[in-house]
Amino acid sequence: MTDKINAVKGMNDIVAPDSAHWEWLEGQVRALFARYGYRNIRTPIVEPLALFVRGLGEVTDIVEKEMYAFEDRLNGEQLALRPEGTAGVVRAAVEHSLLYDGPKRYYYMGPMFRHERPQRGRYRQFHQIGVEALGLAGPEADAELITMAADLWRELGLQDITLELNTLGQPAERQAHRQALIAYFEQHADQLDEDARRRLYTNPLRILDTKNPAMQALVEAAPKLLDHLGPVSLAHFDTVRRLLDAQGIAYRVNPRLVRGLDYYHHTVFEFVTASLGAQGTVCAGGRYDGLIAELGGKPAPGVGWAMGVERILELLKAQQRLPAVAVPDAYAIVPDAGAWPQVLPALRALRAAGVSVVMHATTADGLGSMKSQFKKADASGARYALIFGAEELAAGEVAVKPLREGVAGTITAQTRLPLAQVAQWADRLRGDAQP
Ligand code: ATP
Ligand code: MG
């Protein structure tokens, strides 16, 4: 045997039955987004490196140390695997003038790539579901997006998710705050750790985000951006808060919430849970009014969020909110290989009528005895066995045997059904337990 090849570290295969939970979650999310009028957008996984350097900012963690960047071997272009979704959506909006006839609301789902240290809830290929409202300037758009996330938690039955809210104001206010921060940290240079010293002149705001316990007191007493905000920024933030209050959506104002990316203006927020250990942020976002212009578009505002699918699924699992995985309605038992010409058309007709059937088939060990086929039927979780025995087939029939006690459906004892009319009894076989 030759050596086997494994997946790249931090990149996971998602296999049944887990993949059924992914599909279910995606379906729940799509249904909710549709009710809010958000439409799907699909952008490439590979983008020009410059998109993220310019869009996210050169001194962000992602661009500095997490990005899968590479040169196209064939033409030397500098490319990157997307580390997040917003930059690509905005690029597409600018490239195709999507805002020419008014604002747009989009959602996306898909893999993102960051070279991080793999651990629970933190992977190198992970998945985000995100929403972007482009061309909407008012605080009601921020509130709508936050509400949509809160609705999602409610509809999924998730608990213990708290909303943390902050405002980053506008660039001039941030600049003034930045100067005040640098001055403050310079005064206390002896208390800064290495990371903080490195960031002091490049991204002092990020120092506020430190997880170093030795620096907590220092950071706690640092100048607050809130004290540098003018009336426009304060009013925007105030309205977002009032609109959340009006809907009974609880939040905590966290002045230290700064988010990792440079493009945020005004509102930023995270949904955080204590149930997932260190990787507790399940959804994060904010307003990015500068980004569209930064990426070459006619200046227009934007706001969005992204949630980590792996973390949401883990939380659903921890809180026992994952649905039972769907089982097939039936498993077709085929005692003799001569029966295929009758079995395949009958199963095809059943499937056309909405019945899910797994067909027993020959493996490297052969077709298998009736007993072993029944074992497989049981293991499949199917509610009925369809037995295509020689005697039944000779009579133009198939035997139907319930495999479970108390199954939904109307066939409760073994019976025989005419093959010529499969579509007519499809209703009696079909379950209603598809998640
Ligand atoms: P963190 O502080 O956990 O690194 P982040 O600020 O880098 O998060 P965002 O860029 O805001 O994360 O991405 C939005 C969401 O995507 C996060 O809240 C999280 O749920 C998820 N996420 C981010 N990075 C990863 C990762 N490496 N693996 C799994 N999920 C991730
Ligand atoms: Mg990160």
Domain ranges of the chain: 18-169+229-318, 330-428
pLDDT at residue 185, as a whole number: 94
pLDDT at residue 217, as a whole number: 92
Does 287 belong to an annotated binding site? no
pLDDT at 5 over 70: yes
Domain boundaries 18-169+229-318, corresponding CATH code: 3.30.930.10
Does 73 belong to an annotated binding site? no
pLDDT at residue 435, as a whole number: 34
118-128 confidence digits (pLDDT tens):
999 999 999 99
Ligand nearest to the CA of 65: 2
pLDDT at 381 over 90: yes
Residues 189-209 as b or e (16 or more Cβ within 10 Å = b): eeebeeebeebbeebbbbbbe
CATH architecture of 330-428: 3-Layer(aba) Sandwich (3.40)
The confidence band for 114, taking pLDDT boundaries of 50, 70 and 90, is: very high
Does 331 belong to an annotated binding site? no
Ligand nearest to the CA of 261: 1
Residue closest to 312 by CA, chosen among 183, 428, 156: 156
pLDDT at residue 256, as a whole number: 82
When pLDDT is averaged across residues 397-404 and rounded to a whole number, the result is: 93
In the chain, the percentage of residues whose pLDDT exceeds 70 is: 97
When pLDDT is averaged across residues 177-186 and rounded to a whole number, the result is: 93
Q: When comparing pLDDT for 98 and 278, which is higher?
A: 98
313-352 confidence digits (pLDDT tens):
999 999 999 999 889 999 999 999 999 999 999 999 999 9
Mean pLDDT score across all residues of the chain = 93
On whether the CB atoms of residues 135 and 104 are closer than 8 A, the answer is yes
66-97 confidence digits (pLDDT tens):
999 999 999 999 999 999 999 999 999 999 99
When pLDDT is averaged across residues 294-304 and rounded to a whole number, the result is: 96
- The residues lining ligand 1, judged by C-beta closer than 6 Å to any ligand atom, are 84, 114, 116, 121-123, 126, 128, 260, 279, 281-284, 306-308, 310-311
pLDDT at 421 over 90: no
pLDDT at 409 over 60: no
For a mutational test of ligand 1's pocket, the pick from 125, 281, 309, 315, i.e. the residue with the most ligand atoms closer than 8 A to its C-beta, is 281
pLDDT at residue 16, as a whole number: 94
Q: Quote the CA–CA distance of 338 and 349 in Å, as a whole number.
A: 19
Does 114 belong to an annotated binding site? yes
Phi, psi of 352 (to 5 degrees): -60, -25
Which atom, in ligand 1's list, is nearest to the CA of 312?
20
Burial of 161 (0-12, 13-18, 19+ CB in 10 A): buried
The confidence band for 404, taking pLDDT boundaries of 50, 70 and 90, is: confident
Does 187 belong to an annotated binding site? no
Q: Quote the CA–CA distance of 284 and 149 in Å, as a whole number.
A: 10
When pLDDT is averaged across residues 300-320 and rounded to a whole number, the result is: 97
pLDDT at residue 434, as a whole number: 41
- Contacts of residues 5-10 at CB distance under 8 Å and 24 or more positions apart, as own/partner, are 8/124, 8/125, 9/118, 9/124, 10/116, 10/118, 10/123, 10/124, 10/125
For a mutational test of ligand 1's pocket, the pick from 81, 119, 279, 309, i.e. the residue with the most ligand atoms closer than 8 A to its C-beta, is 279
* Secondary element (H or E) of residue 5: none
